[in-house]
């Protein structure tokens, strides 16, 4: 059993792990492109999150988010700026992130401290990760915009070659309501 599944069961947390609907042009019919999610996919995921909140009477400001590699890339560049104002929570982003995707017509107002303060972001990556530049830019961008941001950087670690599960669970447990 996955450590995340065991943790969720022990804490009576509904664990939903959607896969990206995004594809690269050269993907085969049964291939999944985790890193290909785009801004338009943020609304697709928001629809799914909204349906779960309604179906399971989940508090919409106590959501736990997690991803590795392409998941944090998508969360940092698209989902948080477009959707997190509607569905805030705890974002554990491991070994991936990208610079912010900009379309001011779709971004919620970060100046709304009531909503922004319901969002905490944890970046977890190695200092030898090939996505290091995007991870650091994302971390700095969100901190500069008033978000509660923390990070754990592993010296000498490359992409996803470091602890992910324990720091993610520790972040959630330290910040859950």
Per residue in 49-89, pLDDT (tens digit) is 999 889 988 776 679 999 888 888 888 888 899 889 999 99
How confident is the model at residue 22, as a pLDDT? 67
Residues 6+ apart with CB under 8 A from 165: 3, 4
The structural domain count of the chain equals 1
Summarize the confidence of residues 137-146 as an average pLDDT.
93
Does 3 fall in a domain? no
Does 127 fall in a domain? yes
CA dist., res. 146 & res. 129, Å (int): 26
Does 158 fall in a domain? yes
User: Does 35 score more than 70 pLDDT?
Assistant: no
Does 48 fall in a domain? yes
What phi, psi does 75 have (nearest 5°)?
-60, -50
Residue scoring higher pLDDT (27 or 10): 10
Summarize the confidence of residues 158-171 as an average pLDDT.
96
pTM of the model: 0.89
CATH of the domain at 84: 3.40.50.1820
Does 116 fall in a domain? yes
């Amino acid at each position: 059993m996955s450590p995340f599944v065991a943790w969720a069961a022990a804490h009576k947390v509904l664990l939903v792990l959607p896969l990206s609907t995004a594809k690269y042009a050269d993907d085969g019919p049964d291939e999944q492109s985790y890193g290909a999610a785009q801004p338009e996919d943020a609304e697709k995921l928001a629809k799914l999150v909204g349906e779960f909140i309604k179906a399971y009477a989940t508090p919409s400001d106590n959501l736990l988010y997690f991803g590795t590699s392409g998941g944090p890339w998508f969360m940092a560049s698209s989902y948080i700026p477009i959707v997190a104002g509607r569905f805030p929570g705890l974002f554990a982003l491991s070994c991936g992130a990208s610079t912010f995707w900009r379309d001011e017509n779709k971004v919620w107002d970060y100046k709304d401290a009531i909503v922004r303060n319901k969002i905490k972001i944890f970046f977890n990556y190695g200092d030898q990760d090939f996505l290091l530049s995007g991870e650091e830019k994302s971390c700095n961008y969100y901190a500069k915009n008033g978000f509660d941001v923390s990070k754990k950087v592993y010296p000498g670690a490359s992409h996803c070659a470091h602890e992910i599960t324990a720091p993610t669970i520790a972040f959630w447990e330290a910040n859950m309501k």
